[in-house]
């Protein structure tokens, strides 16, 4: 399957994403976008089952996007 490439304009604060990053242990859960750091980086957080963490990721590592119902 061909990987979809997302641009910073495709992603909004409040959206949820899956990302591929070899330096981070993934839980295969969607992380919520809480800020856009630059044109190439996002600040994301996860709060699931007692686990909470924030992480900065590159937009190029986003592999799936789920829109927030609150995004305009």
Prediction pTM value? 0.82
Query: What pLDDT sits at residue 29?
Result: 84
Q: With b meaning 16 or more CB within 10 Å and e meaning fewer, what string describes 23-33?
A: eeeeeeebbbb
pLDDT tens digits along 27-72: 678 999 999 999 999 999 998 888 889 999 999 999 999 998 765 5
Q: What is the pLDDT of residue 24?
A: 61
What is the structure's pLDDT at 23? 60
């Amino acid at each position: 399957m061909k990987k979809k490439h997302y641009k910073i304009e495709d992603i909004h604060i409040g959206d949820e994403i899956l990302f591929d990053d070899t330096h981070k242990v993934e839980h295969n859960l969607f992380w919520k976008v809480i800020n856009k750091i630059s044109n190439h980086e996002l600040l994301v957080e996860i709060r699931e089952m007692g686990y909470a963490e924030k992480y900065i990721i590159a937009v190029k590592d986003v592999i799936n996007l789920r829109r927030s119902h609150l995004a305009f």
